[in-house]
Amino acid sequence: MSAPQPMPLVTIDEIRDAHVRIRPAARVTPLLEVPYPSGAPRTSEAARFFVKCESLQPMGAFKIRGAYNMVAQLDADARARGVITYSSGNHGQAVALAAQLLGAPAVIVMPTTAPLVKVEGARSYGAEVIFAGTTSTDRKVAAEALAAERGLTIIPPFDHHAIITGQGTVGLEILEQCPEADVIYVSIGGGGQATGLASAIKQVRPSVRVVGVEPEGAPTMKTALAAGAPVSLPSTASIADGLLTIRAGDITFAHAQAFLDEVVTVPDTAIADAVAWLSRYARLVAEPSGAAATAAVRMGLGLPADARHVVAIVSGGNVAPEAFARYVALGAGAVA
């Protein structure tokens, strides 16, 4: 019996091609310098901290990069039949927007617990929204059944070569905007953004440290890396609703093994504090999932004391106003 072949990893040329392909839909988001967090270790007062504002993408999150990259590569017949995805919210909105821009019908399968702001976002781009259970497995099973019934193309939320390639374009932008970056923090749900970013960074500048960040209540990739293979968690729970994947993808796991330096976990209290901190110091509206990377920096997790240029990705800003106000109020005493 022949040995299993290693999974092909995305190449830097594929990421560069994707960066050109997504230009009609994805913005080059700003990289803002913000105060260096008082809780983060540093050996030099010259150390600087930056946030990459993916919350300012057209549909409010980084997901448009991967979604548009994949839908744009479908042939005319596949686009005419339509696309479907399963998502807790942001990927669903991204697929809906990508499909609208490219003239394809879209169906989005969301959990029954999806925030209304994300449901309304998907519908605003003309997508049909269907609800199925509360877990990623529930959504995936429902989407696969509908895809077979209607002849739709599935646009996976993270575990696909084209999705990872599209998400990796953010890494190219960070290196252009801050060539001196030496540590980059990125949140992990299914791992598409984190592994795409790490793939780009490590193939251009291997010395840059890339740290993935998960909620303590959903350590999907951290558990998989410790086990040497993806593991299904019995359950997940966090205010970061976009980071609650139960099992890391096989493709994202392979990329995480190859390119991520470390994965750390943060408590919900630190995530809520980071939402408030970003509101005060960056004037950004960040959803909890989008603030997780900043939370890790503020806690100093995985951060070398000699780091000079630290970057955290603010991956999304789709949060209901009343929830945002609550997080800001909760974190008001911890934003120094």
* CA 243 centroid distance within chain: 8
DSSP 33-47: EEPPPTTS--S-TT-
Active site residue 140: no
Q: Tokens 């696309």 label which residue?
A: 83
Token code pair at residue 66: 């991967």
3-state SS assignment for residue 218: coil
Exposure string over 186-196, b if 16+ CB within 10 A, otherwise e: bbbbbbbbbbb
β-strand partners of 129 = 108
H-type alpha helices, 103-261 = 116-124, 136-150, 161-167, 169-177, 192-204, 220-227, 250-259
* Residue of 52, 55, 87, 88 marked catalytic: 88
Of 52, 63, 140, 222, which is the active-site residue? 63
192-204 vs 64-71: helix axis angle to the nearest 10?
90
CA count, 13 A, side-chain hemisphere, 17:
13
How many other CB atoms are there within 10 angstroms of residue 128's CB atom? 15
Rounded Cα gap, residues 241 and 134, in angstroms? 11
Task: Round to whole Å and give the CA distance between 43 and 46.
Answer: 9
CB neighbours of residue 205 within 10 Å: 13
Residue 88 annotated to the active site: yes
| Active site amino acids | 63, 88
